[in-house]
Amino acid sequence: MALVPCQVLRAAILLSYCSILCNYKAIDMPAHQTYGGSWKFLTFIDLVIQAVFFGICVLTDLSSLLTKGNDSQEQERQLKKLISLRDWVMAVLAFPVGVFVVTMFWSIYIYDRELVYPKLLDNFIPAWLNHGMHTTVLPFVLIEMRTTHHQYPSRSCGLAAVCTFAVGYILWVCWIHHVTGVWVYPLLEHLSPGVKIIFFAAVTIIINIFYLVGEVLNSYIWDTQK
């Protein structure tokens, strides 16, 4: 028996994301007052995705507990729909976007933090909150993958959904620049138009690779156990 039931872990992770989101939104940063607000940052969007995902996980656990020993076919159908939604969000959003945010942020941060997280932000965001947004996402999503089997969609549908998300966010970033004349990330200020196109294409490819990594990792974990 596990030392901590996976249901308790999921509830604790959900509470931690709620705390991170509340503390982040409480910060009085100039960037929050400009066009797009917090929603222009992929980190914030990812935090919302993770919170929604673990919220669905907790709801699934509660529904499973309530329907245990119940012969109602309608409740069983509703539970299966909830499980399908949970698995889809994990496969298409929670894992690839979460891993992308962590790996890309720290890779660029190590190279030159001013390109992605200027030192000025240290005056607004404490270190623990920074790690809550950019570090703990990875172990949390890996814990979920290790404790629960998730049914992935067909590869073509999964990749199409991931591409739609990536392209949608890229268009959102470009629209913000069109409206304000300022790029969301300082890194983009240093790239020529041609290099920006290559960069955006590379970003889309990378997030698709992370989707495939999640699919393979999920299969490896659970096929091995079987």
Across 8-17, 94-103, 117-126, 160-169, least confident range: 117-126
| pLDDT higher than threshold 70 for residue 154 | yes
| pLDDT higher than threshold 80 for residue 67 | no
Q: Which of 42, 33, 87 is closest to 222 using CA atoms?
A: 87
pLDDT given for residue 81 in this prediction:
92
| pLDDT higher than threshold 60 for residue 225 | no
Task: State the Cα–Cα distance between residues 92 and 161, nearest whole angstrom.
Answer: 7
pTM for the whole thing?
A: 0.92
Query: pLDDT band at 1, cuts 50/70/90?
Result: very low
In three-state form (DSSP H/G/I as H, E/B as E, the rest C), the secondary structure along 23-54 is: HHHHCCCHHHHCCCHHHHCHHHHHHHHHHHHH
Contact 127, 135 (CB under 8 A): no
CB neighbours of residue 52 within 10 Å:
15
In the chain, what are the domain boundaries?
A: 6-28+37-224
| pLDDT higher than threshold 60 for residue 2 | no
- Helix 127-134 and helix 42-67: axis angle, to 10°? 70
Across 40-44, 74-78, 137-141, least confident range: 74-78
Burial class (CB in 10 A: 0-12, 13-18, 19+), 130: middle
Mean pLDDT (whole number) for 132-138: 94
CB half-sphere exposure, 36, CA atoms < 13 A: 22
